[in-house]
Chains A and B, each alone.
Chain A
Amino acid sequence: MATDKTNLQLVVNGILNENPIFRLVLSMCPAVGISTTVMNGFMLGIAVLFVQVCSSCTISLFKNVIHPRIRIPTYTLTIATWVTVIDMVLAAYLPEAYAKMGIFIKLIVAFAIITMRLEMFACKESVNASFWDGIGMGLGFMFGMMALGFVRELLGMGTILGYDVLGFKPLLFFVLPFAGFFCVGLMMAFFNYVEIVYKRAKRA
């Protein structure tokens, strides 16, 4: 049962149609907890992108020898291995990047989005399709995190990427974790609205 989508369609699918945060509503804990600034969102996005692509390719490669009854433990094992390997390699060869990225990478092991993508996609599809699906999901997650980070950083601290753009702090409430829920909810509504408008325009 191979996918009939092209590589580009797979990537766009991850960013828009099946955006991990706004459409699949997965990995909400990090989305709510960490998306306080654009930079944090970007960092976690990069980390997820790497782990997603590596894990998807691995599972896709070994899909025929994984016993169906122990799929999930095998996925968790794969993700944990990749997280550990990336963590150690970064610490050894890119200490500057590790100083910034380290805490984000260690956070990933239990992310729902990665496990879910392995279960829904990588265990049925070819390595090539899984690779592009991983890229799409990673970029989609990064886009969602950065969009959330943008709103929360601007409204909470009055800054973008650390630069003071407003000169004052409008609503400190937005940097606190529970404000993440409000942001996710409002942005989800916004994206749904865009979709409805788009569909209507297409029909008309």
Chain B
Amino acid sequence: MKNILTIIFRLTVACLLAGLVMGTTFILTNKAKKHNIHVNEQKVMLSLLGFSEKNPAPASVAMHEVYRYLVGEGEGLGMGYLLPLRDGTYSFVTLDLAGGFVAQTPVAISPEKVVEESERTPAIGAAIGAEKPLRYADQTIVVTNDGKRMAYLLPGRFPGFKTFINAMLAVDPGFSILGLEIMEHEEDPGLGAEIDQEYFKNQFKGKQLETVKKLEVVKTPLPEEYRKGLEADKSGLGAEEVARIQEQYKDNDIYALTGATISSRSVTNGVKAMVKKFAYRVAILDRVLAEQHIATPF
């Protein structure tokens, strides 16, 4: 009996110590980690739009963040969008499941605080009345050039082989894919981890909505010419040649990675779902915005 108590006591102490060490490290490093992720996200967003340090984005290009929420529960479930308005304030637009307009509520929050989920969600809750459960779903970044829509950036998350894959997708106003970037994943190195290689992720570039809707994964080997076109940085092909190869293969399915069919399929299905759902939702949101004369900057 005494033995068991000693064991319980020592194991508890060991767990507490381990927890203490991990917790302390988390507190010390979390801020820097978040900062790194944020910096990386900004860089990826610009590169997906075709901008880089050498070719910076012109001042007329602006990014507007739209946050989507699930409002209510059961029968009363609806969708809410936190939208920036032209005068710099924010407004929360609630829709019912059929896509009909329910309400528009102004939300008092500053542009610095809106990016923090822990600040944003309570602010919205206070604006619409706290009795409704509010769940954050995802965000969309609408990129405009001179007030005209230029692209949408969609940060997304879908299940991979072991755990979730975080990705960022850029689509143009006609929902053709401009680019895909894998932000974070835990696929197996040498196999599924190849999803972040150019010869895989660039296959999505240039695919149109109609193609994406029925996109599948094929297990035939990747043609050598296509690979060269996808790895333009490595093979040194000119922009014209790359555009020609992209045009030639734009209706093809996705070529699976060797030994990683599940990872290839997860990414393909994830991208497919993201684009399809987004195209559907943005059409409804646009209709409501036009009907209600809500003045957004995009």
Contact partner of B7 (CB less than 8 A), chosen from A70, A84, A172, A175, is A70
Q: Which of B21-29, B62-70, B89-97, B173-181 contacts A (4 or more CB under 8 A)?
A: B21-29
Q: Assuming A80-B18, A85-B22, is B190 touching A66 (CB within 8 A)?
A: no
Find chain A residues with CB under 8 A from B190 CB: 33-37, 40, 175
Q: Please, which residues of chain B bring their CB within 8 A of the CB of A92?
A: 28-33, 36
Given the known A-B contacts A40-B189, A78-B18, A80-B18, are A175 and B258 also in contact in the complex, defined by CB atoms under 8 Å?
A: yes
Asked if A1 CB lies within 8 Å of chain B CBs, one says: no
User: Which one of A18-26, A99-107, A183-191 is at the B interface?
Assistant: A99-107
Q: Say if the beta carbon of B213 comes within 8 Å of chain A.
A: no
Neighbouring A residues of B188 by C-beta, 8 Å: 33-34, 103, 107
A176 within 8 A of B: yes
Q: Interface size (A, Cβ < 8 Å)?
A: 36
B276 contacts across to A, CB distance below 8 A: none
Is A44 positioned at the interface, with any CB of B under 8 Å from its CB? yes
Binds A, one of B8-16, B49-57, B116-124, B238-246: B8-16
Interface string of B168-197 (1 = CB under 8 A from A): 000000000000000001111111010000
What is the number of contacts between chain A and chain B, taking CB atoms within 8 Å?
Answer: 87
B159 CB–A CB distance under 8 Å: no
B29/A91 in contact, CB under 8 A: yes
Chain B interface, >50% SS class: helix
Indicate whether A77 reaches chain B with its CB closer than 8 angstroms.
Answer: yes
Query: CA A94 – CA B22 in complex, angstroms?
Result: 18
Question: Distance in Å from the Cβ of B10 to the closest Cβ of chain A?
Answer: 5
30 A-B pairs within 8 Å (CB atoms) are namely A33-B189, A33-B190, A33-B191, A34-B188, A35-B190, A36-B190, A36-B191, A37-B190, A40-B190, A67-B7, A70-B7, A70-B11, A74-B11, A74-B14, A77-B14, A77-B18, A78-B18, A81-B21, A81-B22, A85-B21, A85-B22, A88-B26, A92-B29, A92-B33, A95-B36, A98-B36, A107-B188, A107-B189, A175-B258, A177-B259
**Complex A-B, nearest 3 residue pairs according to Cβ-Cβ distance, in ascending order:** A92-B29, A36-B190, A92-B32
- Taking A33-B191, A88-B29, A91-B29 as given, write out 8 further A-B residue pairs in contact, using a Cβ cutoff of 8 Å, ordered by the A residue number: A36-B190, A67-B11, A74-B11, A80-B18, A85-B21, A88-B25, A88-B33, A172-B258
